[in-house]
Structure 1
Amino acid sequence: MRYLPDGVQMRSADTYTIEELGVPSIVLMERAALKVVEAMHEREIDTARTLVVCGSGNNGGDGFAVARLLAEEGMHVEVLFAGKETSLSRECAIQKKIAERMGIKIFTEIPQKEYTVIIDAVFGVGLSREITGRYCDIIRWMNGQDCRKAAVDIPSGVCARTGQILGTAFCADLTVSMACVKAGCELFPGKKCAGETVAVPIGISPDFFRSDPEVCFTYDRADIPALLPPRKADSHKGSYGRVLMITGSRGMAGACYLSARAAYAVGAGLVQVYTAEENRMVIQQLLPEAIVSCYRGYDPEQLSALLRWADTVCIGCGLGTTGASEDILLHTLREADTPCIIDADGLNILSRHMEALKKSSVPLILTPHMKEMSRLTGRSVAELAESRLDLVRKFTEEYPVVCVLKDSRTAAAMKGRHTFLNLAGNSAMAKAGSGDVLAGVITGLSAQGMELFESACLGVFLHACGGDEARGKKGAYSVLAGDLIAGIEAVLRKQDRGEE
């Protein structure tokens, strides 16, 4: 795993490194500049004619140091100083003075020249105000130049916490981030400005963030083997959990199939589908491995017996929002004593009974997309998109649940835990049934004994990696929800830990 701090969190780590560990700020700046130059060379960015655009703060100091290092390599380097002399930080003033003594050309007016690369070192992670005036003019000019573009730590104008654009923002091909990629570089729309993101070590340890649950984290594929529940040689189907899928009103057999099939695909031992009678034949034909139980309406005795049987419950995929569906959901919230994943129509029903969510003692994972989250919280989709990490954390502080907020950047949150931000996946996954597959994946992992939060995070990541596999096989347009399951199976096959 790796951390994705925001600007405030990163400044705390920086301060700790300087004041507690005793690493001088100028040393960190030198290391940052070295790593920026190294990253550009690794990607074969032509630095023969370089313009570095520097502000007055330490981000600008990094930029002046980059200019000096490139000049030492024999490159033609110039610096556009966009800041103010009266606002220079101590370290930036030192780096600017060195550059001047080396004879590097430094000017304050927008040049009428062509460059092979422009490097943005105007604002760092601390920017919180909208960019206006001369700064805005300079950044827009930078964006308009026909050359490669690189940003130091974060593109100027991108909010390090939310990814929102503060008036205007530099559009980089490459962002070289110090110690950790910042959350704002991975959240949209900031991601579109950050381009390729790479974290480089400069002496600030990412372990600093371990004790701060406000810092979010992400997974890479190399993490998967250690995260998967083990498969033991001496085991049977009961060893890997009994899943109850309360899914599928009349005509919604597809949601039943996709969620149940996905639970099996990630290793669940036994899946029982509880669905409308009209779906029986379809499910038995599509998924003969599943037990099929059916209802014609709300049957409390039958439902109670099924809940006692299950190790994990998934409710809501294609369930509908009729009176019977509402009774089934509320009954489940009252009587289940095993983990329960609530998705789709289950969430729409739940939004009318939020008091039941506070009263329920059932371990819960909610998997809303943005519109469903809007119903649960009363906030608009636009509000959620602008501050998703803050709002999903706030929701889990108010309600005792794990919340998986689905979007192009899905987040999973639980009170007292680091929030997970998923960076895998792609637009090919934006198809009907994709959410049913995710609900099944999380349920299947939970059934194997994983803790709720861990099953939610790994489920989101596996689902997204499966989407990347599916896109690689079928392209961006033709992926269907069933292809995601095949993609997940391919990921697990590649990452198989073997029997223990």
Structure 2
Amino acid sequence: MFIVTSQEMKSIDAFTIESLGLPARVLMENAGYAVARVIESRYPKGTRVLILAGKGNNGGDGLVAARHLADAGYPVHVILAVAAASLSGEAAFQYERIQRFGISSSMYDPFTFHRELSRSELIVDALLGTGTKGSPRHPYDEMIVAANESRKPIVAVDIPSGLDADNGHVSQPCIRATCTVSLAFLKRGLVSQPGAEYAGECVVERIGIPHWAAERHGVKTRLLTEMEIAGLMRPRHPSGHKGTYGHVMLVGSCRRMVGAGLLAAHAAVRTGAGLVTLGVPASALPAAAGRVLEVMLTPLPDNGTGEYYADMAEEILLAAEDKDVLAVGPGLGRFAGGETFLRKIIREWPKPLILDADALYLLAQDVTMLRERTDPTILTPHPGEMARLLGCSIADVQMARIDHARTFATTYQVTLVLKGNYTVIAHKTGDVAINPTGNPGMATGGTGDVLTGMIASLVAQGYDPYEASCLAVYLHGATGDRLAEKIGQQALAAGDLIEEIGPTWIEIERKRLF
């Protein structure tokens, strides 16, 4: 499912109208009908609907929805934010239609507006569309504030008024929608924070624009879907053996953070790797021994400290020599000479490499060392780690997650997994996937380590690094969602995720078409 910017959507609209011959009026009719259909599926006939219509195409979509809702048996009143004479061409045409159909309407004035607001049971926000930037002006601002304060359900047409369609920035005021009906394609602002919170449930409705038009216009951002993920999943071969499914080498679990590496290793086992080895400082070996029976342990000489130091990179490379993928970071810790340690691994490890947690902290000391790698590399930063890699603030990262991830991935030719709500997976070619699964219950220590182990496991099994990252991230979040339904978000812990990977895999795999 493609995700577009406002400019991409504008270009696709123009292409559909001018090159494909589908008139703007037909698109508006389809859009308004789609909004009405969503409302009909969620609210019973007889629900009193108040439609707030702006002067542009968004308002026109709302006017079409008013006509279809009235025809379906919903009492409807329309309030225009501007005088009818100020409506744009298509919106003016649709306003004339609702008048002919006898649908109740009025122009905004405070008394009429508040009277109709108090009578309504459902509000439709068709005030401002995807091309609007900045804070809404009068009377839009007053209408938005009052709609929010009414605490009545709000269905937003295409995007909540006041929300930036490109980055999810929220102007004040901004509609807090119960549901947003995104037309043709998802808009970036709906899958970025804080925009996603204001959008409520997002529903994408087709309006006659062909799906391939997005690809033709160079759209390289998409939302992961369960069907797509199911299609990536590979069945186990009847004659397969443990060597068939790869050998993962994980490095971490210093004395202070033994559990991190163990979580990653256990997750790698549960995600299907044939063999998993965890490298730990020799002095930390007793604390790790026997905790996960299926994981092999490799002690790394540590001078009795239980911690890592620069010269251990050589030992790690030797221990990993016959492995298929190397993941460094969960429980690694921070230490003097860390940059030298990591640079040696980056330069000399000739197979897929995954960097997470403190390995990313070490990398931030000189990100350009990534240019020395030609083999596949996957980075899995959370926003704080990403800010450190970029040398900016967390707020800057969160304001433009997609752009930052894409730019970093293409600049350094890596796969980058920017974790968080709507995790961003960026490919070195500039393709970006957004993950819709997961919940706040997963905001707890160790869940990132579990994800690292899952990605490493899939890469070891032969999945392309980008596909492995998309599959692991979606599965990781879906597992968290499944657990949240069972035990609640409050009680969710990283170890719980590991035991639920298998059932979640089965549930998704059943959606596979081939």
Indicate whether the TM-score tops 0.5. Answer: yes
Are the counterparts in 2 of residues 214 and 419 from structure 1 also a CA contact under 8 Å?
no
| SS of equivalent to 1:151 | strand
Q: CA 1:119/1:293 → structure 2, altered by over 3 Å: closer, same or farther?
A: same
Mapping 1:260-409, distance limit 5 Å: 260-297=265-302, 298-299=311-312, 301-323=314-336, 325-409=338-422
What is the alpha-carbon distance in structure 1 between the residues aligned to residue 501 and residue 472 of structure 2? 10
Corresponding residue of 2:137: 132
Are the counterparts in 2 of residues 412 and 420 from structure 1 also a CA contact under 8 Å?
yes
The answer to whether residue 239 in structure 2 is matched with residue 240 in structure 1 is no
What is the alpha-carbon distance in structure 2 between the residues aligned to residue 301 and residue 192 of structure 1? 47
Corresponding residue of 2:33: 34
The answer to whether residue 219 in structure 2 is matched with residue 206 in structure 1 is no
User: 43-52 vs 380-389, which deviates more?
Assistant: 43-52
What root-mean-square deviation, in Å, do the aligned CA atoms of Structure 1 and Structure 2 show? 2.0
Are the counterparts in 1 of residues 82 and 107 from structure 2 also a CA contact under 8 Å?
no
What is the alpha-carbon distance in structure 2 between the residues aligned to residue 73 and residue 290 of structure 1? 61
Corresponding residue of 2:12: 13
Please report how far the alpha carbon of residue 20 of structure 1 lies from its aligned counterpart in structure 2 after TM superposition.
Answer: 1.1
What is the alpha-carbon distance in structure 1 between the residues aligned to residue 497 and residue 157 of structure 2? 36
Are the counterparts in 1 of residues 353 and 376 from structure 2 also a CA contact under 8 Å?
yes
Corresponding residue of 1:197: 202
User: 219-228 vs 84-93, which deviates more?
Assistant: 84-93
What is the alpha-carbon distance in structure 1 between the residues aligned to residue 358 and residue 50 of structure 2? 54
Deviations 1:188-228 (A, max 9, x none): 21122211211111101222223455542122333332112
Corresponding residue of 1:152: 157
User: 140-149 vs 347-356, which deviates more?
Assistant: 140-149
Identity of aligned pairs, percent?
Answer: 35
Deviations 1:315-341 (A, max 9, x none): 011101113654442221011111100
Q: Which amino acid aligns with 1:108?
A: Y
Are the counterparts in 2 of residues 229 and 448 from structure 1 also a CA contact under 8 Å?
no
What is the alpha-carbon distance in structure 1 between the residues aligned to residue 380 and residue 255 of structure 2? 22
Q: Which amino acid aligns with 1:135?
A: Y
| SS of equivalent to 1:229 | coil
Corresponding residue of 2:307: none
What is the alpha-carbon distance in structure 2 between the residues aligned to residue 483 and residue 213 of structure 1? 40
Structure 2: any 5+ residue segments left out of the alignment?
Answer: 303-310
Q: Which amino acid aligns with 1:205?
A: P
Please report how far the alpha carbon of residue 120 of structure 1 lies from its aligned counterpart in structure 2 after TM superposition.
Answer: 0.8
Q: CA 1:29/1:213 → structure 2, altered by over 3 Å: closer, same or farther?
A: closer
| SS of equivalent to 1:462 | helix
Corresponding residue of 1:167: 172
| SS of equivalent to 2:29 | helix
| SS of equivalent to 2:293 | coil
Corresponding residue of 1:90: 89
| SS of equivalent to 1:440 | helix
Q: CA 1:162/1:28 → structure 2, altered by over 3 Å: closer, same or farther?
A: same
Q: Which amino acid aligns with 1:234?
A: S
Structure 1: any 5+ residue segments left out of the alignment?
Answer: none
Corresponding residue of 2:308: none
The answer to whether residue 248 in structure 2 is matched with residue 225 in structure 1 is no
What is the alpha-carbon distance in structure 2 between the residues aligned to residue 49 and residue 128 of structure 1? 31
| SS of equivalent to 2:468 | helix
User: 362-371 vs 279-288, which deviates more?
Assistant: 279-288
Please report how far the alpha carbon of residue 127 of structure 1 lies from its aligned counterpart in structure 2 after TM superposition.
Answer: 1.2
Are the counterparts in 2 of residues 57 and 87 from structure 1 also a CA contact under 8 Å?
no
Q: Choose which of 475, 487, 496 in structure 1 pairs with 2:488.
A: 475
Please report how far the alpha carbon of residue 396 of structure 1 lies from its aligned counterpart in structure 2 after TM superposition.
Answer: 1.8
What is the alpha-carbon distance in structure 1 between the residues aligned to residue 232 and residue 27 of structure 2? 34
What is the alpha-carbon distance in structure 2 between the residues aligned to residue 309 and residue 197 of structure 1? 47
Deviations 1:221-248 (A, max 9, x none): 3333211233111111111111110111
Q: What TM-score, normalized by structure 2, do the two folds share?
A: 0.92
Please report how far the alpha carbon of residue 299 of structure 1 lies from its aligned counterpart in structure 2 after TM superposition.
Answer: 4.0
Please report how far the alpha carbon of residue 281 of structure 1 lies from its aligned counterpart in structure 2 after TM superposition.
Answer: 2.8
Deviations 1:293-334 (A, max 9, x none): 111333455333223212111001110111365444222101
Are the counterparts in 1 of residues 268 and 276 from structure 2 also a CA contact under 8 Å?
yes
Q: CA 1:253/1:212 → structure 2, altered by over 3 Å: closer, same or farther?
A: farther
Corresponding residue of 1:443: 456
Please report how far the alpha carbon of residue 79 of structure 1 lies from its aligned counterpart in structure 2 after TM superposition.
Answer: 1.4
Corresponding residue of 2:100: 101
Are the counterparts in 2 of residues 151 and 174 from structure 1 also a CA contact under 8 Å?
yes
Corresponding residue of 1:252: 257
What is the alpha-carbon distance in structure 2 between the residues aligned to residue 478 and residue 365 of structure 1? 30
Q: Which amino acid aligns with 1:263?
A: A
Q: What TM-score, normalized by structure 1, do the two folds share?
A: 0.95
Mapping 1:403-422, distance limit 5 Å: 403-422=416-435
